[in-house]
Chains A and B, each alone.
Chain A
Amino acid sequence: MTTAASVSATGLVKTFGGLRAVDGIDLEVRQGEIFGVLGPNGAGKTTMLRMLATLLPIDAGQARVFGVDVTTEPHRVRQLVGVTGQYASVDEDLTATENLWLFGRLQGLRSADARATARGLLSQFGLEEAANRPISQFSGGMRRRLDLAASLITRPPLIFLDEPTTGLDPRTRGQMWDTIRGLVADGCTIMLTTQYLDEADQLADRVAVIDHGRKVAEGTPDELKTSVGNSTLQLELAAGVDQDLARQVVQRVAGREPVLTPESGRMNVPLETADAAADVLIGLRQAGVAISAVSVAKPTLDEVFLTLTGHDAGDAGQPARSSHDEALLEVR
């Protein structure tokens, strides 16, 4: 392995009119890792990826892919990266096989090789049966898979995936994650964007959180999570319960200090995993603490942002907001 990072960018800027869509981002993606870019709608994820993929000129700053400069040698960079955009970039009027054959031919494969590669990829992605159907009849998940397949024809060492699982059902999403892990096992480096904290957590080795075109945090998913808490158990203690006893029980079982709102008898317990909620509830039952209401909430992207940036991400889009946000806000 060479020492060059898969992607190294310094001070990337892109302006659209007066809007600084990407506003001075530094990045370093190591070889062989899955690097997640997490951010709400309009954060600048797509814009950043498009600049790195030579699809948009870079206004300021510098980017290199395996040491090759994106601005001065775009043609070489294009031979090193596979790009799967946020919206399907396959030809609606052609069949799946024809699409892959065409992209193979364009990249210098001979006709027979292009056909064999197309067949191999279609079976790898479970699309054999749809091989000769026009894309216009494909479901969203099939399109997404074909789109990824089309990026793998020449087996590029770096793959950009822009929101690869947005709009997929949980099963298809899981398959997509497996596929992505398989690519990494083969030696690929993956840079993907996502709006889901959960996805970054499951998939990425390291994550950069961006907001309003700036990087607001970077680290492993664990590092991000500890700064936010993984899930929160929200309890409403029955009237007349010994709140101090409840607090002690929780502290003993969950190993965390709960946040108590004595007037309403509400108690929020940050948890590593949602399972731990059961332990807390059993502990409380054994101690004879009565509870009138229970719920468990996952932290939303909003909360990551609230923690990391001190402001709400909501104005830029509609990130998943749980109905427990207010309770969670009290925790902070």
Chain B
Amino acid sequence: MSAAATEVPARGSRVRTPAVDPASAVARARPHISPVEAISQTFSMAWRALKKMRRNPEQFFDVTLQPLLFTAMFAYIFGGAISGNVKSYLPLLIPGIVAQTVLTTCMATGVQLREDMEKGVFDRFKALPIARIAPLAGPMVADLVRYLIAATLTFVMGVIIGYRPGGGPLGVLGAIALAIFTGWALAWIFTWIGTIARNARSVQGISMLILFPLTFLSNAFVPIHTLPSALADFVRVNPVSHLVSAARDLANLGVISGEVGWTLLAGLVVIAIFAPLSVYSYRRHL
């Protein structure tokens, strides 16, 4: 067609592949993404996140060190004061630490997403014909590994210092599964913050502001009846308290109590609100 095109040199001809036909490409271009495609794209993005985790093992510091250190520290510092001795504090403490570490892990989700989004490769993700939710949900799927590590290590550490869960292995597995689900659900809040904040630093700042009241104003470390009444009211409605209570019921008693239901419901509500919000702000903001 053009002068330039006719004088293609040797290298150009080596590159020869089937000719491109715009008309058929236009005919093939579909207007929407099917849910199956969206899920497959999410898993591709999860694969990418897992690869990155493996290449940057320092990302696992928080999910390994925090459960180990916090479990031992809280047990020996507060054990005597709250429950008389360390061993009787553990059934109260361990599910609390599980909730706390899983929540801290969620926060990292938002910060890392934001850092990632500032990289050039996100431009390509935006330019590709893929579901807008895939780049957000992919890393979150990969983060399930982190929640699993955090929750499991907390129980392991607890057992090492003398925790004997009354709910047996099944109860403990149930508690871990519930913690992972809740962590994953709450992570959508931090993902949303990741898409609206100006930079990774501010994601960190805002997330801390949310995280601290959620974890410390809960029944994670102290029994509710020891709290002043105004505080106790907040602690009672805090979804983290429900998670902690549910995890205690599962791990210590082996029962699926109403708290489990409330926790699942709270998680679903959070996803229903924050997943669409995240996609919306990712789509228009960036």
Contacts and interface: CB of A to CB of B under 8 A. Distances in A.
Contacts of B127: 53-55, 78, 81, 83, 89
A270 interface: no
Interface string A71-111: 00101111111010101111111100010001101111000
Nearest to B122: A89
A82 B243 CA distance: 46
B51 A93 contact: yes
Contacts of B19: 186-187
A106 B134 contact: yes
Contacts of B17: 120, 124, 155, 186
Contact of B4 (A68, A156, A203): A203
Contacts of A185: 5, 8, 12-13, 16
B284 to A, nearest CB: 7
A90 B121 contact: yes
Contacts of A80: 22, 25-26, 29
B123 A33 contact: no
Contacts of B130: 106-107
B123 A89 contact: yes
A80 B228 CA distance: 63
A48 interface: no
A150 interface: yes
A106 B4 contact: no
B225 interface: no
Contacts of B14: 124
Contacts of A91: 48, 52, 119, 121
Contacts of A68: 26, 29
Interface residues of B, number: 54
Given A90-B120, A157-B20, A205-B2, A75 B28 contact: no
A93 to B, nearest CB: 5
Contact of A85 (B5, B33, B37, B123): B123
A182 B8 contact: yes
A276 to B, nearest CB: 21
Interface string A260-296: 0000000000000000000000000000000000000
Interface string A143-170: 0000000100001111000000000000
A102 B44 contact: yes
B2 A184 contact: yes
Contacts of A6: 22
Contacts of B8: 178, 181-182, 185
Interface string A5-40: 010000000000000000000000001111000000
Interface in B38-97: 40-41, 44-45, 47-48, 51-52, 55-56
B35 interface: no
B12 A182 contact: yes
Contact of B25 (A66, A89, A102, A205): A66
Interface in A28-65: 31-34, 53-55, 57
Interface in B108-125: 119-125
Contact of A79 (B5, B55, B129): B129
Contact of A2 (B26, B55, B56): B26
B11 interface: yes
Q: Specify the main secondary structure of chain B where it touches its partner.
A: helix
B126 interface: yes
Contact of A89 (B7, B13, B120): B120
Contacts of A158: 22
Nearest to B54: A93
Contacts of A87: 120, 123
A178 B22 contact: no
Contact of A1 (B23, B29, B44): B23
Given A89-B123, A155-B17, A181 B12 contact: yes
Given A76-B30, A94-B52, A98-B51, 16 more contacts: A31-B22, A76-B26, A77-B29, A78-B129, A79-B28, A79-B29, A87-B120, A88-B120, A103-B124, A105-B47, A106-B45, A107-B130, A178-B9, A181-B4, A181-B8, A182-B15
Interface of A: 1-2, 4, 6, 31-34, 53-55, 57, 66-68, 73, 75-81, 83, 85, 87-94, 98, 102-103, 105-108, 120, 124, 134, 150, 155-158, 175, 178-179, 181-189, 202-205
Interface of B: 1-5, 7-9, 11-23, 25-26, 28-33, 37, 40-41, 44-45, 47-48, 51-52, 55-56, 119-130, 134, 284
Closest 6 A/B residue pairs (Cβ): A182-B12, A157-B22, A78-B129, A187-B20, A89-B124, A79-B29
25 contacts: A34-B2, A54-B126, A55-B126, A68-B29, A76-B31, A80-B29, A89-B120, A89-B122, A90-B124, A93-B51, A102-B44, A102-B47, A106-B128, A108-B40, A134-B55, A156-B25, A178-B8, A178-B9, A181-B4, A181-B5, A181-B9, A182-B8, A184-B2, A189-B22, A205-B2
